[in-house]
Amino acid sequence: MNSLPPVPQSDVIAAEQAHLAVQEGARLIDVREPAEFALGAVAGSENVPLAELEACLSSSPWSRDAAVLIICASGKRSLRAVSLLRRVGFEHVQSVEGGFAAWRAAGLPEDELALDVDSRERYSRQLILPEIGIEGQRRLKAARVLIVGAGGLGSPIALYLAAAGVGTLRIVDPDRVDRSNLHRQILHRDSHIGESKVASAERALRALNPAIDIEIVDAALDEGNANVLALGADVLVDGADNFAARHHLNQASVELGKPLVYGAVHRFEGQASVFWPGRPGIPAPCYRCLFPDPPPPELAPNCAVAGVLGVVPGIIGLVQATETLKLLLHLGETLCGRLLTFDARTMRFREIAIARDPECPACSENALRL
């Protein structure tokens, strides 16, 4: 039976010896994929996947004289990396025998910021996305989001942000759960009728993800508390059902420079956008650039008067949750400067460009000087 040729002893190093070498200044390269690296890594190691190693050497040449150690999951990929590095002139390069499995079994130091077992399992499907990985998950954990409204829009927003691991959700709503809410406000249950919406929301979110912090405010957002409630938040999310709350939340967004994720629904239709006049680089419009003044009540009846198809706030709320996650992760292109509209009857989304209003009563230069 054929057998593999023996590995030269100079190509491998035991985990304990590797640990000492790193303490003495050796460079430790982890050639696993980002998703593997996210689930646990050696303290101080650099993640360069094996498939990217050669390109990395070309774009950022390493010193051929430096001591370099390579680690992977079990010691196989790291040997291939050692062969590659030796071919291009590295003399002091070795593979950590047994890989990260051996390192962990020996109880050697791991990255202090590595995710715990619960997080590695809970978020595993988004951790494997290269655009998120462990750094993105840490960013989500450190984030704080203000959600105004625990109703039709706030329900899917809060549920998906909690499920994604956003570290702190602050939820503001003065209302109580009514039976008529239940066809669209999926945070709440029949047994919660009569309970404050924020208390009901807290119970549902803690059952979904006990690892995050929930702050509840059983009050209406108004001119007097908007800025206080928005302090410390990375993103403000509008799940309100009235123009007064939206104007006060927009003013907090303008004054504090925070992005505001907007959503609204009416019967079979909905719309969403991101307002951020304080955005670095290219400032975006604010809410009042689009809606400077509240329309008359007869032109903007609420759900209790006009009705709403229950799934519509779910769809718009999911768009808002998506935009919030993108903002927190610094990922992709947001709806800044664009209004996304949706009609459930035709299942069509449309997009309308929005420009800043130089005469805006909230974010124009004249308004900010007042």
Active site residues: 303
Distance from the Cα of residue 27 to its chain's centroid: 31
Distance from the Cα of residue 166 to its chain's centroid: 7
DSSP 186: T
Query: SS3 for 69?
Result: strand
**CB-based contacts of 321: which residues, under 8 Å, 6+ apart?**
156, 157, 160, 161, 164
Lookup result for tokens 């190093």: 13
Residue 289 in contact with residue 273, Cβ under 8 Å? no
Cα separation of 147 and 129, whole Å? Answer: 26
Nearest one of 6, 12, 9, 4 to 79, comparing CA atoms: 12
Residue 110 in contact with residue 43, Cβ under 8 Å? yes
Give the dihedral sign, CA 274/277/280/281.
positive
